[in-house]
Amino acid sequence: MKSKRYLFKIIGLFVMTAIILIMVTCFGCAVFCNEINELEHVVPEEIGWSSVKLEEAKSYAEQIGSAAIMALYEGKVFFSCGKISQKYLIHS
């Protein structure tokens, strides 16, 4: 049961990340006028996320060949890895 719960959390993280990447790709600077580096960053624990679990998600993403991941909460970045400033052609 624990492994299923973990798998659902990982899948949820990747779905959320895919949605964010699609929004950034589709709307570009029209919606997000700030550069990626200008976004405010917060510590994951401040908003209820585990840094340890996010590192596990990062390791998994690297294993499956993900190019970049970025997760935000209320417009603040709490997790990112890879070349997040690069534009990607993505599919769902």
Question: For residue 81, what are its two tokens?
Answer: 């890895």
pLDDT at 32 over 80: no
Rounded to the nearest integer, the mean pLDDT of the chain is 82
Residues 12/63, Cβ–Cβ less than 8 Å: no
Distance (Å, rounded) from C-alpha 34 to C-alpha 75? 11
**Do residues 88 and 20 lie in contact, with contact meaning Cβ atoms separated by under 8 Å?**
no
User: Which pTM was predicted?
Assistant: 0.54
pLDDT at 45: 94
Mean pLDDT computed over 27-34:
53
The model's pLDDT over 39-80, given as tens digits with 9 standing for 90+, comes to 889 999 999 999 999 999 999 989 998 899 999 999 899 999
